[in-house]
Structure 1
Amino acid sequence: NKVIVAVLGGCLLILVQVFQTATHSSQENAFGFIAHNLDILGFVVGMMILVGIIRESGLFEAIAIWLVKKLKANPFALLAILGYLTLGMTALFSNIPTILIIVPVALVLIKQLKLPYLPFIFIIVMMANLGGAMTPISDPTTYYQAKTVGLGFTEVLGNSGVIVLLLSVVSLAYTSFVFRKELKAVKINESAVSLFRPVSAIQNKTVLLKGTPILVITILLMVSKEFIFRTFGISLDNATITLSAAFFAMLMFHREPKKVFAELIDWEIIFFFMGLFVVVGALEFTQVIDVLAQLLIKLSGGSVQVLTALIAIGSAFLSTFIDNVPYNITMVGAVQAMEKSGIWVYPLWWALNLGTSIGGAGSPIAAACNVIAFGQAEREGHHTPFVRYLKLALPLVLINSLVACGVLLLRYF
């Protein structure tokens, strides 16, 4: 279990006095790395609570059903609907809440319309991972990178986000081609589609009418916080915004804190990050990250173009087999160390962000949202062999990483 490994590893590093200095204890210095990243933890908790409460309304399910009816449930159109709905929601709500909303809807459609399950779960997982690179709030690793480096919402959207849109077209085309036989063989029962009612998906009208504005205002504040600071001098951080919105929603809808904390917060993710911050902090504290940075500079001959390609393509394949969260956090430190050595690192941030997001879809266990998606499908009787998924996903990982690398080189050099 990666949570146990991360937390126990962090504790052992503290116990063996890795962080000990003349003025502070090992624990004080180690916990300083957690304190430095409290904004990230607060943001994740706030979004989990807020999206969890708004999810009770059934709004997202209603939107999905409405889109299906509009496009007459053509299997190729349905593939695009679920894919781009996942991409858009991930950009605004983060990929884990999105998966928890979209996959159950997809599984109902698959069952009712007698569709092959794998094309739809495949595109959802692909888009959820790609969408993680679109904005600072779409994935904890992207948020960590943006927060650590000081990248704003519009800056991430204008750099990574634009490339993600291109990669999403590539991914949809690839998925449609690979599964063309299964999708062409589908005969949609139009009478079954006519029975779908978007209104029937609405479970709680009070949450829908009062909660949706809270969610919209929260997103608008996160998008415009740089403008607010420049114009009014008011500094807003994402943790303050999301936690305020989450607890206001709890107050408005009379939610019991104990129940919310038990049901809506994924404590495994929170403790995983806490342990990880200490472990990666140890690499920084002992200057291991500096050594890694110098090794990459040496391998590239100091060429920023080579470093961009190396990080974009290398990150995609490493993130397929290594959990992309610790990899990304470690590499953020390495790129920062390169910057201190005088390397121009601006394109490297986008190479890292895109590479880890592309690679996150490379295997069923590469990212938390993948595990959740395939776990939900498994419970409905849809088993996906690990090797089969790799055969489907790895060619797309290669294609997307090469496309991303090419666009980065053309754009910045």
Structure 2
Amino acid sequence: MNLAAFAPWAAGFLFVFMFILVITEKFERHVVTLACGAAVLVIVFGICMHSWQAAWRTLNIQSIFTLDFWYSATESAESSSGINWATILFIAGMMIMVEGMASAGFFRWLCLRFAKLVKYRATRIFLAFMIMSAILAMFIDSITVILFLAAVTVELAQLLKFDPVPVILAEIFCANLGGSATMCGDPPNIIIGTALGYSFSDFVSNTGVIAGISLVCVVIYFWLCFAKKLKKSETYLESIESFPDPHEAILDRARFIQSTFIFGLAVVLLVSHANTHLTVAFIGTFIALLTLVCAGGQAMDLLRKVDYRTLLFFVGLFVVVGGLEETGVLEIVAGLIADWSNGSLYLMVAIILWLSALASAVVDNIPFAATMIPIIRTLAQSQSVPLATLAWTLSMGTDIGGSATPIGASANVVGTAVAMKAGYPISWGKYCKYCVPATLLVVTISMICIFVRYV
């Protein structure tokens, strides 16, 4: 009996099973993804495929010991296959940096300073943080932006007694939207740009314009959703004079200066990594080590505060999606586009955009973008359509579609984890209630903009 034929079905079933368990929240999500990841390794790769090479490729441990993992002049689509250890190390490094900044009083100081600047109005904080999230994510990885802003939001919420969940939801969505505007803002854009030869300015003048138009609509949308609720908290404001002075938050001035310098250095390294060729794995590891060295005797405390459950969740998720990659499920789905479009550029754009958005909402958008690149290249050659049009369509679909669910993009996972750790859990129902309509809105705007400008 040829069990290899059942491998794609087994991989697809395990993914759907994992997805259902994560949504129902009956078990901790990292336990679910790790268990399903182990099942993929044993059932799909071992029993069905008899291919431990596929398992080894998915575990991707060997990549850590290569020069390209730490320093690379190019970033190929193949580098995203299996467990993306660069993402894991980067998130871990940023978590350590954020914990170091928090222990030095940086976030407490910043929230008090910012609250004083906007006269302690939750609605003004809400607007400012949405715009700030989008702008920062254009140049800094959205994971770092959300780790930073979500921590500040929680501090402000506890000070001003408002619910931070609406603000964090809006920050997550705007970070993903801002990341779509530039080549370095979101991992799929890096893969698309390097594989197809597009530059930073190419993205800004194309996806950046669409993201800018969409941001205006998104800010209005979230304002209509949450402004009334946030305004209620402003009625309970105490006398402004009763709030503590921002300088009171600085308990150790030397550590405060060090943490500020480390954060600034992280920003510089992330913005310039396309020129320095230092990978995000190197940047995350270097920043983490620098933070631990500066922490001295408190280094172990910082390590204990790292959210290891979120890191394990990513490991399991990458393995399950790796099962879909190795069994060819993603290629089958992507290949159907050529048949469905039937030579129509309008239909081709619509299918790529909506399929990419839908797929990125339920699987990690990095491997999907990597899988789609050869498909759109083939479509451009065989159907005589502009490759750039399909590239911008793929970029917007993968970047924005990931905003729809809590597991669609790394920033979503990190943002909801920060909220949960602070005592503000965000359920799947609450997340999707507000972010799915926003995603549909932006994807629709993107389709209209692409039709008008390129088709």
So what's the TM-score if we normalise by structure 1? 0.76
| Aligned amino acid, residue 45 of structure 1 | L
| Aligned amino acid, residue 39 of structure 2 | L
Supply the distance in 1 between the matched residues of 2:318 and 2:92 (Cα, whole angstroms). 17
| Aligned amino acid, residue 173 of structure 2 | M
Residue 72 of structure 2: aligned partner: none
Residue 316 of structure 2: aligned partner: 272
Q: CA deviation at 1:187?
A: 2.0
Q: Alignment partner for residue 174 of structure 1, among 221, 229, 244?
A: 221
Q: CA deviation at 1:173?
A: 0.8
| Aligned amino acid, residue 409 of structure 1 | F
Q: Alignment partner for residue 248 of structure 2, among 180, 184, 200?
A: 200
Residue 335 of structure 2: aligned partner: 294
* 1:303 and 2:370 are equivalent in the alignment: no
Secondary structure (helix, strand or coil) at the match of 2:176 reads helix
Per-residue Cα deviation, 1:106-139 (whole angstroms, up to 9, x for no partner): 2343344343555424322322332443455555
Supply the distance in 2 between the matched residues of 1:41 and 1:78 (Cα, whole angstroms). 35
Supply the distance in 2 between the matched residues of 1:140 and 1:277 (Cα, whole angstroms). 16
Supply the distance in 1 between the matched residues of 2:36 and 2:193 (Cα, whole angstroms). 26
* 1:2 and 2:46 are equivalent in the alignment: no
Secondary structure (helix, strand or coil) at the match of 2:444 reads helix
Per-residue Cα deviation, 1:352-398 (whole angstroms, up to 9, x for no partner): 33334433333455455445545655677757675555443333222
| Aligned amino acid, residue 354 of structure 2 | I
Residue 404 of structure 2: aligned partner: 362
| Aligned amino acid, residue 197 of structure 1 | D
Residue 87 of structure 1: aligned partner: 134
Per-residue Cα deviation, 1:255-279 (whole angstroms, up to 9, x for no partner): 7987766654653155236525632
Q: CA deviation at 1:83?
A: 1.7
Supply the distance in 1 between the matched residues of 2:251 and 2:197 (Cα, whole angstroms). 40
Q: CA deviation at 1:79?
A: 1.2
Q: Alignment partner for residue 378 of structure 2, among 335, 340, 347?
A: 340
Supply the distance in 1 between the matched residues of 2:284 and 2:246 (Cα, whole angstroms). 28
So what's the TM-score if we normalise by structure 2? 0.70
Supply the distance in 1 between the matched residues of 2:424 and 2:267 (Cα, whole angstroms). 35
Question: Mapping of 1:25-174 within 5 angstroms?
Answer: 25-27=53-55, 35=63, 37=79, 41-42=85-86, 44-46=88-90, 48-50=92-94, 52-53=96-97, 55-57=99-101, 58-115=105-162, 117-135=164-182, 138-139=185-186, 142=189, 155-174=202-221
Supply the distance in 2 between the matched residues of 1:207 and 1:162 (Cα, whole angstroms). 41
Residue 312 of structure 1: aligned partner: 353
Q: State, as a whole percentage, how many aligned pairs show the same letter.
A: 20
In the superposition, relative to structure 1, how do residues 276 and 140 fare at CA in structure 2: closer, same or farther (>3 Å)? farther
In the superposition, relative to structure 1, how do residues 27 and 48 fare at CA in structure 2: closer, same or farther (>3 Å)? closer
Supply the distance in 2 between the matched residues of 1:37 and 1:137 (Cα, whole angstroms). 16
Residue 29 of structure 2: aligned partner: none
Return 150-159 or 94-103, whichever deviates more.
150-159
Q: CA deviation at 1:403?
A: 1.2
Residue 393 of structure 2: aligned partner: 351
Question: Mapping of 1:180-191 within 5 angstroms?
Answer: 180-185=227-232, 186-187=234-235, 189=237, 191=239
Supply the distance in 2 between the matched residues of 1:154 and 1:201 (Cα, whole angstroms). 41
Q: What is the RMSD of the two structures over their aligned residues, measured on CA atoms?
A: 4.0
Secondary structure (helix, strand or coil) at the match of 1:362 reads coil
- For the 8 Å contact 1:134–1:164, the answer to whether it is kept is yes
Residue 412 of structure 1: aligned partner: 454
Q: CA deviation at 1:209?
A: 2.6
- For the 8 Å contact 1:73–1:193, the answer to whether it is kept is no
- For the 8 Å contact 2:186–2:399, the answer to whether it is kept is no
Per-residue Cα deviation, 1:264-306 (whole angstroms, up to 9, x for no partner): 46531552365256324414xx5x5444333101211233443
Residue 15 of structure 1: aligned partner: 46
Q: CA deviation at 1:69?
A: 1.6
Q: Which runs of 5+ in 2 are unaligned?
A: 1-31, 64-77
Return 257-266 or 83-92, whichever deviates more.
257-266
| Aligned amino acid, residue 311 of structure 2 | W
Residue 15 of structure 2: aligned partner: none
Residue 68 of structure 2: aligned partner: none
In the superposition, relative to structure 1, how do residues 202 and 303 fare at CA in structure 2: closer, same or farther (>3 Å)? farther
- Matched length: 398
In the superposition, relative to structure 1, how do residues 376 and 293 fare at CA in structure 2: closer, same or farther (>3 Å)? closer
In the superposition, relative to structure 1, how do residues 30 and 174 fare at CA in structure 2: closer, same or farther (>3 Å)? closer
| Aligned amino acid, residue 400 of structure 1 | V
Supply the distance in 1 between the matched residues of 2:314 and 2:406 (Cα, whole angstroms). 21
In the superposition, relative to structure 1, how do residues 148 and 3 fare at CA in structure 2: closer, same or farther (>3 Å)? farther
| Aligned amino acid, residue 178 of structure 1 | C
- For the 8 Å contact 1:160–1:350, the answer to whether it is kept is yes
In the superposition, relative to structure 1, how do residues 273 and 18 fare at CA in structure 2: closer, same or farther (>3 Å)? same
| Aligned amino acid, residue 124 of structure 2 | A
- For the 8 Å contact 1:69–1:196, the answer to whether it is kept is no
In the superposition, relative to structure 1, how do residues 45 and 31 fare at CA in structure 2: closer, same or farther (>3 Å)? closer
In the superposition, relative to structure 1, how do residues 80 and 251 fare at CA in structure 2: closer, same or farther (>3 Å)? same
Residue 232 of structure 1: aligned partner: none
- For the 8 Å contact 2:188–2:370, the answer to whether it is kept is no
Q: CA deviation at 1:80?
A: 0.9
